[in-house]
């Protein structure tokens, strides 16, 4: 019974994930695309929940579906949010390349999983009580994956500083602004 429920939720969430993903790229109105992206992130969170990763699911909703998408909606609504001209398809080699790249990715994932996991896929994973708990994730961040964790933080810091620099006007630009205002 429990298994059937899990399967039903998994199929629902996976379908929602694919459906909202397609919706993101097919809506002409960017506001709807952003809303579909929120749906996509939320259904991903459900998939994380099914994989016993409650903390990752909550963080996914909090950080991506919450904070990041608020900024997306802010910018889209601020710029008007009107229906832009839909994507005409571009030159035919673009769509051909897109399909080719997507297929290559899919093959790569299947081959990588097949080579790495092999027969292990038939075995059930051992999921302890501590699996996916905040304490366990924190321990991994500060022991096994410390280098990646620190490098990520530096990259984010650089991005923040870059954002400030790009957003700040230089003194020369400010003077030009002042001249523009002074001119009749």
Partner 1 sequence: MTEPWWISVIKALIIINLVLVGFAYLTLAERKVMGRMQLRYGPNRAGPFGLLQPAADLMKLIRKESFFPASAVDVLYIASPFVAAFTALSTFSVIPFGPGWEIFGYQVDGQVVDVPISLILIFAIGSIGTFGFIVAGWASDSKFALLGAMRTCAQLVSYEVSLALSVLGVVLMAQSLSLTEIVAGQDGTWWYVVPQFVGFVVFLLAGTAETARAPFDLPEAEQELVAGYHTEYGGMRFGLFTMSEYINLITLSGLAVTLFLGGWHFFFLDGLGPIWFLVKLLALLFLFIWIRTTLPRLRYDQLMRFGWKVLLPVATLNAVVTAILVVAL
Site for partner 1 in 115-174 (CB under 8 A): 133-134
Shortest Å distance, C-beta 166 to partner 1: 18
DSSP string, 77-131: HHTT---PPPP---SHHHHHHHHHHHHHHHHHHHHHHHHHHGGGGGSPP---TTT
66 near partner 1 (CB under 8 A): yes
CA–CA separation, 147 and 153 (whole Å): 10
Q: Binding string to partner 1 for residues 26 to 55, with x set by CB under 8 A, is what?
A: -----x---x--x---x-----------xx
Q: Using the rule CB under 8 A, which residue among 1, 4, 67, 120 binds partner 1?
A: 67
Segments in the chain forming alpha helices (H): 2-26, 30-50, 54-59, 69-78, 92-117, 134-142, 146-167, 171-182
Using the rule CB under 8 A, give the single segment among 19-27, 72-80, 112-120, 155-163 that binds partner 1: 72-80
Write out the residues near partner 1 by the rule CB under 8 A. Answer: 31, 35, 38, 42, 54-55, 58-59, 61-62, 65-67, 69-71, 73-74, 77-78, 81, 133-134
């Amino acid at each position: 019974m429990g298994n059937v429920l899990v399967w039903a939720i998994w199929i629902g969430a996976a379908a929602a994930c694919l459906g909202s993903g397609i919706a993101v790229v097919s809506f002409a109105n960017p506001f709807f695309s952003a809303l579909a992206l929120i749906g996509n992130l939320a259904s991903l969170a459900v998939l994380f929940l099914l994989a016993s990763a409650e903390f990752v699911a909550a963080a996914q909703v909090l950080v991506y579906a919450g904070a990041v998408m608020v900024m997306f909606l802010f910018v889209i609504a601020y710029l008007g949010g009107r229906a832009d001209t839909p994507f005409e398809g571009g030159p035919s080699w673009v769509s051909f390349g897109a399909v080719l790249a997507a297929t290559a990715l899919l093959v790569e994932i299947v081959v990588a999983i097949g080579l790495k996991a092999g027969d292990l896929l038939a075995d059930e994973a051992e999921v302890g009580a501590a699996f996916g708990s905040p304490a366990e994730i924190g321990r991994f961040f500060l022991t096994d994956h410390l280098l990646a964790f620190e490098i990520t933080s530096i990259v984010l810091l650089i991005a923040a500083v870059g954002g400030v620099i790009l957003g700040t006007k230089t003194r020369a630009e400010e003077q030009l602004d002042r001249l523009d205002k002074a001119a009749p």
